[in-house]
Chains A and B, each alone.
Chain A
Amino acid sequence: MNKHFSPTMNRRAFVIGTAAVGAGLAIGLDLPFGGPAVVRAADGSPEIGAWVVIRPDDTVVIRIARSEMGQGSLTGLAQLVAEELECDWTKVTTEYPTPGQSVARKRVWGDFSTGGSRGIRSSQDYVRKGGATARVMLIQAAADAWKVPASECTAANSVITHTLSGRTTTYGKVAEAAAKLTPPAEVKLKDPKDWKLIGKGVKRLDTVDKTTGAMIYGADIKLPGMLNAAIKDCPVFGGKLKSFDEAKIAGLKGVKKVVKVGDTAVAVVADTWWHAKTALEALPIVWDEGDNAKVSSASIAKWLAEGLDDAQPAYVGNKNGDAKAAIAGAAKKVEAVYSYPYQNHATMEPMNATALYTADKCEVWCGTQNGEAAFAAVLEASGLPAEKCDVHKVMPGGGFGRRGQTDYVRQAVMIAKQMPGTPIKLLWSREEDMAHGRYHPITQCKMTGAFDANNNLIALHYRLSGQSILFSLRPEALQNGMDPAAFQGVAQSGEAAFGYSVPNLLIEHAMRNPHVPPGFWRGVNVNHNAIYMECFMDELAQAAGQDPLEFRRKLMGNHPKHLAVLNAVAEKIGWDTPAPQGVYRGIAQVMGYGSYVAGAAEISVTDGSKIKVHRIVASTDPGYIVNPAQVERQIAGSFVYGLSALFYGGCTVKDGKIEQTNFDTYNSMRINEMPKVESVMVPSGGFWGGVGEPTIGVAAPAVLNAYFAATGKRIRSVPLRDQNITFA
């Protein structure tokens, strides 16, 4: 296991509260006579508060509760702690506490969930306080040793200085004494203008092992005596496993056991995964597919289209004036229907988890976006109490929202439970991963815009029909049946607010939930809402005979932050000057995850069907930027994810199953298709927005609007491959 990601906390030190804690997951505690307990890491080094461990050689170990899954939040979170800690950045390393340890310590590390571009923005306050708390304690320890007031001491670069005498010491030298102090009840955080590390594009902390093959991902876990499992779940969602003919694969090399996994799946356990997978393919399986086997993409599309009818019930998410009346009496109106398909996350590493179950313990090793949810799944599937379970997080080969779900963790435990004492590594084939995604929700949208006689937009009716993620995954978050997240990017207020003022506005959602399970797919509901709204904005501009940028600007007077990012891309791409010969531009903006983003594309089109994306300009205002080098990578990466979905994505349903099986039928952009992405960061300060997702929303509409500029043709459905449009 590599140094950044191995769970290495102390199991040998004295343990208190064993009844609640259990020896397997406790962190060592010294019980001094008087004063608080000193908590120790695996090597005996003391904790200075829950977030920081200082070793005698001045190494700083920063605890990270959220999951690194590629977006760089591990490094960003360490920067936040280190900024306040005033430590030497070159001596920083990180480690993951386990969910079991967190539960045993009353969730001292807070939420482990890493989704919704929340990794940094939702933990920035308490992790910075964690760093500041440790700094205050370290300074106090030095001051106590020198018998001077702490107020006469300062800390920088892991060195504490008594300013009057010039005496110095280091964090490593006073860590033991600091650990025995009572943490301050309150700490003051730095003024952003004094930040030295936040805002700096420091190198990631997890790069080296990713270039040598040493990084351990879930699929790479090796445990003594471990066996490998391959699984097939009923390809029709909601269907069941009827029977399988184990005798047909008896005697195949390496096969150890064939097990039923719940009511819906069967797994082959073998010495190697290759043996397990080939045996599983040879295993005759009979499914009870149920009624869902009658569902197809066409039947779903028909059902969603019916939801576009105003006579059908719908939830109102954003409303202003009387849109229907204004449309009825308008001088001119424009209408269009758009659609967006299912998408698979297609993480590079298929789902997997390794579980070891014994009568009194269940441990799991896996990549997960939510250690605590994985932990809960282990408890549920094993039937063991919290103190007998734990989850050891390893690097996931991509998450994009998929690894926030715990189906694969549960399966691994269910298999391991049938083979007590033997560690079982369950790895999905790519085909299983394609068949059992938690797909980007499917929707359609009918939009109607109305103008007065002077071509002013007086009304907009946005009627979304389709799937709710929360209905499926977090029904407790529904509000009187309504999914508030369905309005991401077109909401009245909040972290994904609509950026236009229209006097008569109606934004509503006719919820229709097909049987294909939806999930949080990077960008989530912002993706389709941004395509619908931003492409339709272009249609409205065209109908009004106005420039798409100018048309938007007129509606954005009350939304200065939305407008600022739009203006930033317009300026950088040179919207006011002609594009090069044969090159056409499109523009889009949206707000999501607390950040304001805009994008502009320059494309050329050959034969009406071959698109070359020459240049992208993308602007982001996330309030504060922790690591601009990583933000730039998230912006560029968002175009890979968003444009792959636009050009090549789309999962279709036949006989209740997903038709796409692998990257040959669900392709992803390659380097030759990658446009140059120029990012313009305009952090306006005062708030914390996310950066991993919002930009995906503008990727597709910027290109689609440019396609219209080039061809005069509107594309209102995704993916482009269905219309024989591809990259040049």
Chain B
Amino acid sequence: MANLTINGKTFTLDIEPETPLLWAIRENAGLTGTKYGCGIAQCGACTVHMDGVAMRSCGVTVSEAEGKKITTIEGLASGDSLHKVQEAWIAQDVPQCGYCQSGMIMAVAALLNEKPKPTDADIDEAITNICRCGTFAQVREAIHTIASA
């Protein structure tokens, strides 16, 4: 059994402690917005926040996540009002297939938390998610739009 705090809610899950957080979120907590892409912390599709820090949830175990405040894409909005990154994503029409975008948005939200006005170099360093459709130009533009708002 493990207790996970996800999006402000406590989940008591019948789960082995070494299970990757990604699968606990998707299969045990039933939140499928966080995506599986590689399972080896390469692609970033599974990015969530752990105590406000962007983490690749496929590389974090349930036992490591216990006691931490986990936020997934479903928990990014405050009630009915979307997070500024989600709003910017909609305004810029960023997603193509969209599969990587939950992770991309979570990574960007964490970056903006830390650096509200990131430079291109900051973006290059912090955003290392893979997008096979190739939305990078829109991602960068949307980040700058938020930063200059």
Which of A's residues lie within 8 Å of B, judged by CB?
A: 69-72, 203-204, 206-217, 219-220, 222, 228, 253, 272-274, 346-350, 395-400, 427, 429-430, 629, 633, 636-641, 644, 662-664, 668-672, 674, 676-677
Q: Which 8 A-B pairs have the closest CB atoms?
A: A213-B33, A640-B134, A397-B99, A70-B97, A210-B98, A637-B134, A672-B124, A213-B73
- Whether B135 pairs with A633 at a CB distance below 8 angstroms is yes
Q: Are B42 and A662 in contact (CB under 8 A)?
A: yes
Where the two chains meet, the residues of B that have a C-beta atom closer than 8 Å to any C-beta of A are 16, 19-20, 23, 27-28, 30-40, 42-43, 45, 72-74, 76-77, 82, 86, 89-90, 93-102, 105, 123-125, 127-140
Give the residue of A69, A212, A670, A674 whose beta carbon is less than 8 angstroms from that of B77. A212
Minimum distance in angstroms from A645 CB to a CB of chain B? 11
* A273 touches which of B27, B72, B98 (Cβ 8 Å): B27
A-B contact pairs, 19 of them (CB 8 A): A71-B96, A71-B133, A210-B101, A214-B33, A349-B37, A396-B97, A397-B97, A399-B97, A427-B36, A429-B39, A430-B38, A629-B93, A633-B135, A640-B131, A640-B132, A663-B38, A668-B43, A670-B128, A671-B129
Report the nearest A residue to B101, measured CB to CB.
Answer: A210
Complex interface: chain A residues within 8 A of B30 (CB): 222
Do A640 and B93 touch (CB < 8 A)?
A: no
Task: Please name all residues of chain A whose beta carbon is closer than 8 Å to the beta carbon of B137 when the two chains form the complex.
Answer: 636, 674, 676-677
| A671-B134 CB under 8 A given contacts A71-B96, A274-B23, A348-B100 | no
Chain B residues contacting A350 (CB-CB under 8 Å) are 36-37
What are the residues of chain A within 8 A of B35 when measuring CB–CB?
217, 219, 348-349, 397
Q: How would you classify the secondary structure of chain B's contact residues: helix, strand, loop or mixed?
A: loop
Tell me which of A430, A641, A644 has the highest count of chain B C-beta atoms within 10 A of its own C-beta: A430
A662-B38, A663-B43 given; name 8 further pairs at CB < 8 Å. Answer: A210-B89, A212-B33, A214-B74, A348-B130, A398-B132, A640-B131, A662-B39, A672-B128
Asked if A70 and B140 sit within 8 Å, CB to CB, the answer is no
Contacts of B139 in A (CB 8 A): 671
Q: Complex: how many Å from CA A480 to CA B139?
A: 48
The residue on A at minimum CB distance from B74 is A213
Question: What separation, in Å, do the CA atoms of A257 and B35 have in the docked complex?
Answer: 26
Number of residue pairs A-B, CB distance < 8 angstroms: 177
- B102 near A213 with CB under 8 A, answer yes
Residues of A within 8 A of B86 (CB): 211-212
B132 touches A671 (CB 8 A): no
* Chain B residue with Cβ nearest A633: B96
Pick from A207, A210, A217, A671: contact of B140, CB below 8 A: A671
The distance from the CB of A568 to the nearest CB of chain B, in whole angstroms, is 20
B100 / chain A contacts, CB cutoff of 8 Å: 348, 397
- Identity of the chain A residue whose Cβ is nearest the Cβ of B121 in the assembled complex: A672
A220 to B72, CA, bound (A): 15
B90 and A207 within 8 A (CB): yes
Would you give the shortest CB distance from A201 to chain B, in whole angstroms? 9
Query: What A residues does B90 contact at CB under 8 A?
Result: 207-208, 211
Chain B residues in 8 Å Cβ range of A347? 97, 99, 132
A640→B133 CA distance, assembly (Å): 7
Residues on A with C-beta less than 8 A from B23 are 272-274
CA distance A663 to B128 in the complex (A): 12
User: Which residue from A430, A637, A663 sits with its C-beta under 8 Å from B135?
Assistant: A637
Bound: A429/B37 CA distance, A:
9
Which residues of chain B are within 8 angstroms of A637 by Cβ–Cβ distance? Answer: 96, 133-135
A207 and B27 contact, Cβ closer than 8 Å, known pairs A348-B37, A671-B140? no
Select B28's contact among A272, A671, A674, beta carbons within 8 Å: A272
Q: What residues of B have a CB within 8 angstroms of the CB of A639 in the complex?
A: 134
Asked if B93 and A398 sit within 8 Å, CB to CB, the answer is: no
Given A640-B134, A670-B130: A206 in contact with B98 (beta carbons within 8 A): yes
| Min CB–CB distance A405 → chain B (angstroms) | 17
Q: Which residue of B lies closest to A671 (CB)?
A: B136
Question: Looking at the complex, which one of B16, B77, B96, B127 makes contact with A70 (CB distance below 8 Å)?
Answer: B96
